[in-house]
Amino acid sequence: MPLLAGLVLAVLLGGGGFYATYSGMLGGGGGEDAHAATDSPDGANHAGDAIAFVPIEPILVSLPHESMPRHLRFRAEIETIPEHKDAVAEIMPRILDVLNSYLRAVATEDLERPTALIRLRAQMLRRIQLIAGDREIRDLLVTEFVLN
Protein backbone atom coordinates (compact mmCIF):
# COMPACT_ATOMS: atom_id res chain seq x y z
CA MET A 1 0.00 0.00 0.00
CA PRO A 2 2.77 2.55 0.81
CA LEU A 3 4.43 1.76 -2.54
CA LEU A 4 1.19 2.43 -4.44
CA ALA A 5 0.62 5.69 -2.54
CA GLY A 6 4.17 6.81 -3.36
CA LEU A 7 3.69 6.00 -7.04
CA VAL A 8 0.41 7.95 -7.22
CA LEU A 9 1.97 10.89 -5.38
CA ALA A 10 4.98 10.90 -7.73
CA VAL A 11 2.74 10.96 -10.81
CA LEU A 12 0.63 13.80 -9.39
CA LEU A 13 3.65 15.87 -8.40
CA GLY A 14 5.32 15.25 -11.77
CA GLY A 15 2.18 16.32 -13.64
CA GLY A 16 1.78 19.37 -11.42
CA GLY A 17 5.40 20.36 -11.95
CA PHE A 18 5.05 19.98 -15.72
CA TYR A 19 1.91 22.12 -15.76
CA ALA A 20 3.47 24.81 -13.57
CA THR A 21 6.51 25.01 -15.84
CA TYR A 22 4.59 24.85 -19.11
CA SER A 23 2.03 27.45 -18.07
CA GLY A 24 4.77 29.89 -17.09
CA MET A 25 4.15 29.94 -13.34
CA LEU A 26 7.78 28.92 -12.72
CA GLY A 27 9.26 30.87 -15.64
CA GLY A 28 10.39 27.80 -17.53
CA GLY A 29 8.28 27.01 -20.58
CA GLY A 30 5.32 29.30 -20.88
CA GLY A 31 3.54 27.59 -23.76
CA GLU A 32 3.36 28.87 -27.31
CA ASP A 33 2.43 32.45 -26.39
CA ALA A 34 5.53 32.90 -24.25
CA HIS A 35 7.77 31.38 -26.94
CA ALA A 36 6.38 33.77 -29.57
CA ALA A 37 7.34 36.73 -27.40
CA THR A 38 10.98 35.63 -27.14
CA ASP A 39 11.78 34.25 -30.60
CA SER A 40 14.61 36.68 -31.28
CA PRO A 41 18.01 36.70 -29.57
CA ASP A 42 17.42 40.10 -27.98
CA GLY A 43 14.08 38.98 -26.47
CA ALA A 44 12.03 41.52 -28.43
CA ASN A 45 8.91 40.38 -30.21
CA HIS A 46 9.45 40.62 -33.96
CA ALA A 47 6.60 38.23 -34.85
CA GLY A 48 4.59 40.70 -36.93
CA ASP A 49 7.53 42.62 -38.37
CA ALA A 50 8.62 42.25 -41.99
CA ILE A 51 11.99 40.65 -42.54
CA ALA A 52 14.54 40.66 -45.31
CA PHE A 53 17.52 38.43 -46.00
CA VAL A 54 20.86 39.57 -47.33
CA PRO A 55 22.92 36.66 -48.72
CA ILE A 56 26.59 36.36 -47.85
CA GLU A 57 28.83 35.12 -50.65
CA PRO A 58 30.18 31.61 -50.06
CA ILE A 59 33.40 31.54 -48.06
CA LEU A 60 36.01 28.83 -48.60
CA VAL A 61 38.65 28.63 -45.86
CA SER A 62 41.80 26.47 -45.99
CA LEU A 63 42.42 24.77 -42.65
CA PRO A 64 45.85 23.63 -41.48
CA HIS A 65 46.12 19.86 -41.09
CA GLU A 66 49.13 17.53 -40.72
CA SER A 67 48.36 14.87 -43.32
CA MET A 68 46.18 16.52 -45.96
CA PRO A 69 44.70 19.95 -46.60
CA ARG A 70 41.19 20.50 -45.30
CA HIS A 71 38.63 23.11 -46.26
CA LEU A 72 35.59 24.74 -44.72
CA ARG A 73 32.83 25.90 -47.03
CA PHE A 74 30.53 28.41 -45.35
CA ARG A 75 27.43 30.17 -46.64
CA ALA A 76 24.89 32.21 -44.68
CA GLU A 77 22.26 34.92 -44.86
CA ILE A 78 21.77 37.93 -42.63
CA GLU A 79 18.28 38.59 -41.31
CA THR A 80 17.37 42.27 -41.12
CA ILE A 81 14.40 44.55 -41.74
CA PRO A 82 13.61 45.61 -45.33
CA GLU A 83 14.58 49.23 -44.65
CA HIS A 84 18.13 48.18 -43.75
CA LYS A 85 18.66 45.61 -46.51
CA ASP A 86 20.53 47.99 -48.84
CA ALA A 87 22.63 49.40 -45.99
CA VAL A 88 23.68 45.89 -44.93
CA ALA A 89 24.52 44.98 -48.55
CA GLU A 90 26.75 48.09 -48.76
CA ILE A 91 28.94 46.90 -45.89
CA MET A 92 29.19 43.32 -47.19
CA PRO A 93 32.97 43.62 -47.89
CA ARG A 94 33.54 44.42 -44.20
CA ILE A 95 31.29 41.52 -43.15
CA LEU A 96 33.15 39.11 -45.44
CA ASP A 97 36.47 40.34 -44.06
CA VAL A 98 35.51 39.80 -40.43
CA LEU A 99 33.98 36.37 -41.13
CA ASN A 100 37.03 35.25 -43.12
CA SER A 101 39.37 36.44 -40.39
CA TYR A 102 37.36 34.75 -37.66
CA LEU A 103 36.95 31.42 -39.47
CA ARG A 104 40.67 31.25 -40.27
CA ALA A 105 41.51 31.82 -36.59
CA VAL A 106 39.30 29.01 -35.29
CA ALA A 107 41.14 25.78 -34.54
CA THR A 108 40.23 22.74 -36.63
CA GLU A 109 39.43 20.77 -33.46
CA ASP A 110 36.85 23.41 -32.49
CA LEU A 111 35.14 23.07 -35.88
CA GLU A 112 34.83 19.29 -35.50
CA ARG A 113 32.91 19.43 -32.22
CA PRO A 114 29.19 18.59 -32.41
CA THR A 115 28.23 21.92 -30.82
CA ALA A 116 30.65 24.01 -32.89
CA LEU A 117 28.04 25.51 -35.18
CA ILE A 118 26.02 26.96 -32.30
CA ARG A 119 29.04 28.72 -30.79
CA LEU A 120 30.44 29.84 -34.14
CA ARG A 121 27.08 31.26 -35.22
CA ALA A 122 26.80 33.30 -32.03
CA GLN A 123 30.36 34.61 -32.38
CA MET A 124 29.90 35.56 -36.04
CA LEU A 125 26.53 37.22 -35.37
CA ARG A 126 28.07 39.36 -32.63
CA ARG A 127 30.92 40.42 -34.91
CA ILE A 128 28.51 41.34 -37.71
CA GLN A 129 26.39 43.36 -35.29
CA LEU A 130 29.48 45.28 -34.16
CA ILE A 131 30.38 46.12 -37.76
CA ALA A 132 26.84 47.05 -38.74
CA GLY A 133 26.54 49.69 -36.04
CA ASP A 134 23.08 51.24 -36.07
CA ARG A 135 21.81 48.97 -38.86
CA GLU A 136 19.48 46.34 -37.46
CA ILE A 137 20.94 42.84 -37.75
CA ARG A 138 18.51 40.36 -36.23
CA ASP A 139 20.10 37.01 -36.93
CA LEU A 140 22.62 35.02 -38.91
CA LEU A 141 21.17 32.01 -40.70
CA VAL A 142 23.81 29.45 -41.64
CA THR A 143 22.75 27.73 -44.87
CA GLU A 144 25.92 25.74 -45.55
CA PHE A 145 28.68 24.55 -43.23
CA VAL A 146 30.77 21.80 -44.81
CA LEU A 147 34.07 20.66 -43.37
CA ASN A 148 36.08 18.32 -45.61
**Per-residue pLDDT reduced to its tens digit, 13-40:** 888 888 877 777 765 444 455 444 445 5
**Annotated domain spans of the chain:** 2-37, 52-147
Backbone dihedral region for residue 55 (phi beyond 0: left; psi -120 to 50: alpha; all else: beta): beta
Q: What is the pLDDT of residues 121-136, one digit of tens each?
A: 999 999 999 999 877 8
Number of neighbouring beta carbons within 10 Å of residue 146: 10
User: What long-range pairs does 59-64 form, CB within 8 A, spacing at least 24?
Assistant: 59/96, 59/99, 59/100, 59/103, 61/100, 61/103, 61/104, 63/108, 63/111, 63/147, 64/108
The answer to whether the predicted template modeling score (pTM) of the entire model surpasses 0.85 is no
CATH assignment of 52-147? Answer: 3.30.479
